[in-house]
Structure 1
Amino acid sequence: MPLWTIHHTPAVFTADDKHQLAARIADHYEKVGLPRFYVVTLFQETRPEDCYVGGEPTRAGVRVVIDHIARHNPDQESRRRTAQWIKGILGPHLEQHTGLHWEFHVDETSADLWMINGIVPPPGGSEAERTWARENATSVY
């Protein structure tokens, strides 16, 4: 599952911005074969007085933490492509804000401790995973 947790100060995202960004993120993962419901995007608004960069309060900031569980990048070049893809997804939403500090990082987490609706997800690329993607729902396999 990709889990995107987007910590942000107020006025960075409208409700429509959030919906567009979350849909765009899910679109990408669906294109590479993951079920859409694997993709979870959480927007966590943080008050400016609770957001510090370098020990100093930040008026406008975004920190994105991404957990990749369903798939991992096998090498440095694929990790660089993933980072560029993420920059391309976030950039249009964030670069329009003057003075905004923004950053992201990706953790590649073991799938051994992952379940959806109490079911261990099927192996990546398997027929069972393709069924989940096609039906956009979990099922026993």
Structure 2
Amino acid sequence: MPLHRIYSVKGVFSADDKKAIAEGITNVYSAIPLPKFYVVVLFIDTDLDSFFIGGKPNDRFVRIVTGHIARTNIGAEKERMVLEALQAAYHPYVRDRGLDWEIHIEEHEREVWRENGLAPPMPGTDAEKYWIEVDKAVPYTKGEDARQYT
């Protein structure tokens, strides 16, 4: 599951900006394809007196921390492509507005990830395809079709 935490000073992004950014990020992952419900975007708005860069308050900086679980160790070329696609989703709201920003992606072990208590199906399986179709986690048995359990 990609988890995006976007830290900025309150007011940097409007409600419409946040919605558009979240949709852009979701589109990056649904093109892979991943289920859309895997994508979580959290905007963490902070008071200026609590946001420091280089020891000074800064309302022109955005920090983005992304956690990947569903697809990890995909190779340098694919990792670069995902990072570039994410940056493109942010550009109209960050780079193009003259804000400074930093992004990094953390990778986590799939074995310690659950959706509604379920171990998510492996990439490309019928069960994962069905999760994409219904846009939710449904029970399945390894080697069986998730439809049997809805």
TM-score (norm. length: structure 2): 0.87
Q: How does 1:1-141 map to 2 (within 5 A)?
A: 1-98=1-98, 100-141=99-140
Matched letter for residue 109 of structure 1: H
Q: Does the aligned pair in 2 maintain the 1:12–1:97 contact within 8 Å? A: no
Q: Which moved more, 1:31-40 or 1:72-81?
A: 72-81
Q: CA separation in 2, counterparts of 1:66 and 1:129?
A: 22
Q: Does the aligned pair in 1 maintain the 2:28–2:85 contact within 8 Å? A: no
Q: Gaps (5+ residues) in structure 1?
A: none
Q: Does the aligned pair in 1 maintain the 2:8–2:59 contact within 8 Å? A: no
The C-alpha deviation readout for 1:61-100, integer Å capped at 9, x for no partner, is 21010001000242222222222212111111112434x2
Runs of 4+ displaced beyond 4 Å: none
Q: CA separation in 1, counterparts of 2:47 and 2:60?
A: 9
Indicate the percent of aligned positions where both proteins have the same amino acid. 36
The one of the two structures with greater contact order (alpha-carbon pairs below 8 A, sep at least 6) is 1
Q: Does the aligned pair in 2 maintain the 1:4–1:42 contact within 8 Å? A: yes
Other structure's SS at 2:74 match: coil
Q: Gaps (5+ residues) in structure 2?
A: 141-150
CA-CA distance at 1:58 after TM superposition: 1.1
Q: CA separation in 2, counterparts of 1:29 and 1:59?
A: 29
